[in-house]
Amino acid sequence: MPPNLDTDPQGGAIPQLQEWVETQHASGCIVCSVCGGAFLLAKTGLLNGRSATTHWSFSETLAERFPKIRVDTEKLIIDDGDIITAGGLMAWVDLGLKLVDRFLGPTVMLEAARFFLVDVSGRQQRFYSNFSPKLHHGDEPILKVQQWLQKSDVSRLSVSTMAAKAGMGERTFLRRFQKATGLTPTEYVQHLRVGKARESLEFSSLAMKEIAWKVGYEDYGAFRRVFQKVMGLSPGDYRLRFSVQGNRNHS
């Protein structure tokens, strides 16, 4: 199921197409989707109760429209045996290699990857995606806090300050914030701080410890652990891959 070129990722799949896909799947075919093609596949019901991926920017939309699917856009490929879903548009290359591996074996797959100059060392969407918080939850005080957080100094944020901004007690704020966003306030702030750190790692030559301090971590070890948890890469490895300045300062 290829990406839809329409601006609406849900697309306009016709019943005949859905029935045909279901019939092919029932006959033993492997069904795959790439990027927004997950929405077309989701309409068949074949993804219900399964994990699936799509482009990270469609994550919230796919989860809202098809709540029976476990949407996981950190992964570039989710291989569920008879159904394989791939992330962004160019993930079709990774999907193709996955199928070559499935039908022709790892040796042929690696030869194909070398020929096409494709890195097969476990890419993940979260290396490339930006933090996209849930904003359409309907809790106005929490939305007000989220909008304030986007403009705030990420190095100086606390739960008590956020709760006061929302006009709530801390316990009520913690409960409502997590219900609305799917993250605790601490996790949410960690994502914001990692986002700021990524900018510095990509576009500056600042030392790692200085970047950690700028985004609110006096302990570089704590910063490194949070960054690794959120991104799946250490700050140093992230800089090696994505620095636009060719910077290699790991101090």
- Same domain, yes or no, for 118 and 145? no
- Same domain, yes or no, for 152 and 122? no
- Same domain, yes or no, for 112 and 24? yes
Band of residue 5 on the pLDDT scale cut at 50, 70, 90: low
**Per-residue pLDDT, 140:** 92
Per-residue pLDDT at 235 exceeds 90: yes
- In this structure, is residue 10 part of a structural domain? no
Residues with Cβ within 8 Å of 45's Cβ and at least 6 positions away in sequence, in order, are 22
**Per-residue pLDDT, 177:** 96
Other Cβ atoms less than 10 A from the Cβ of 37: the count is: 23
Q: Name which residue leads in pLDDT, 186 or 249.
A: 186
- Same domain, yes or no, for 93 and 154? no
Residue that terminates a domain, selected from 66, 95, 127: 127
| Identity of residue 128 | Y
- In this structure, is residue 1 part of a structural domain? no
- Same domain, yes or no, for 232 and 179? yes
Is 212 in contact with 168 (CB distance < 8 Å)? no
Per-residue pLDDT at 169 exceeds 80: yes
- 77-79 sheet: strands from edge to edge: 31-34, 83-86, 77-79
- In this structure, is residue 6 part of a structural domain? no
Tell me how long the chain is: 251
Is 235 in contact with 208 (CB distance < 8 Å)? yes
Residue 131's φ and ψ, nearest 5 degrees, are -65, 120
- In this structure, is residue 35 part of a structural domain? yes
Q: Name which residue leads in pLDDT, 176 or 28.
A: 176
Residue that terminates a domain, selected from 93, 127, 161: 127
CATH (domain of 202): 1.10.10.60
Mean pLDDT value across residues 59-76: 90
- Same domain, yes or no, for 122 and 146? no
pLDDT in tens, 88-134: 888 888 899 889 888 887 788 878 888 888 776 666 677 767 787 88
Band of residue 249 on the pLDDT scale cut at 50, 70, 90: very low
Structural domain harbouring 166? 140-242
- Same domain, yes or no, for 75 and 22? yes
- In this structure, is residue 164 part of a structural domain? yes
- In this structure, is residue 108 part of a structural domain? yes
CATH (domain of 19): 3.40.50.880
Name the average pLDDT for the chain.
Answer: 86
**Per-residue pLDDT, 251:** 43
CA-to-CA separations, 138 to 99, 105, 142, 181, 194, in angstroms, rounded: 42, 49, 9, 11, 26
- Same domain, yes or no, for 145 and 109? no
Number of domains into which the chain is organized: 2
Per-residue pLDDT at 205 exceeds 80: yes
Per-residue pLDDT at 13 exceeds 90: no
Per-residue pLDDT at 17 exceeds 80: yes
- Same domain, yes or no, for 220 and 159? yes
Out of 147-156, 232-241, 242-251, which region has the weakest mean confidence (pLDDT)? 242-251
**Per-residue pLDDT, 74:** 81
Residue that terminates a domain, selected from 82, 97, 127: 127
- Same domain, yes or no, for 108 and 161? no
- In this structure, is residue 225 part of a structural domain? yes
- In this structure, is residue 202 part of a structural domain? yes
